[in-house]
Amino acid sequence: MTSRQLYESPGLYGRIFPADAEDAAFFAALMRLESRMGALEGPVLDAACGTGALTGLLGLPVVGLDRCRELLRVAPAGVRAVAGDLLALPFASTSLAGAFSRLFGYGYAAGERPEQARALAAELGRILRPGAPVALEVPLAYRPDRLQGMEEHATLPGGLGYRFRYLDVLQETAFGAVLASRIEVTAPAGESWMLAAPLHVYTPEGMCGWLGEAGVMAVRFHAPYDPGSGTAEPPADCLRAIAAGTRK
């Protein structure tokens, strides 16, 4: 299976990347915590929103964006979501009150085209108002090369088995490194899917630098589902964290 096939299959995408009230409550609380504008007035961007399942649970004025129209067609009723390119965001300058992404690491501009990371940072900075909060879930490692061969396992809703493996370093970047990765999903009925794709893994310093190019300052790293866990330095064994800060 290719990444395109995964992203054009709403049923499979929703099973591999489920969203629930816990995810939504965390991001909503974190966005409010990081905001320097008080109430979040105006739309907040959900970047790489997929099917819009999380977008609809936030309880915030939010607009989702994804490159795949097939996923957006199954967005919940009432969810505002648009098809668009992360490198040419279809929003006016300083028009959005914040931005977040639960699947930033899987966004194509960040994962498959790391050479364009600076263009993405510039676009993000362009559309945000001063004082706007930003929160991105990112693959994180102090030494990305040490992730080679490391695996993550999980059981997903519906009894799906999920196995993620980091493979060889393909390219070093200004903000970390691109690693080959493999996702294997197995269903109780015996079905299985495998996806091999590049993944941009950031170093903590690299993530701060990337957000700095977007004009986001005072970056802190949060453990998932704990808005109060923010620290300037993530734990040494951290593989996934939420990088959050405020547009200057």
What is the reported pLDDT for 108? Answer: 42
For residue 183, what pLDDT is reported? 87
| pTM of model > 0.75 | yes
Mean pLDDT of 18-44: 84
* pLDDT at residue 75 in the model: 92
d(CA 126, CA 121): 9
Dump pLDDT digits (tens) for 86-131.
889 999 999 999 999 988 765 544 445 667 888 889 999 999 999 9
Per residue in 132-149, pLDDT tens?
A: 999 999 889 999 999 999
Distance, C-alpha 85 to centroid of its chain? 15
Cβ atoms of 28 and 46 within 8 Å: the answer is: no
The CATH homologous superfamily for domain 3-141+202-247 is Vaccinia Virus protein VP39 (3.40.50.150)
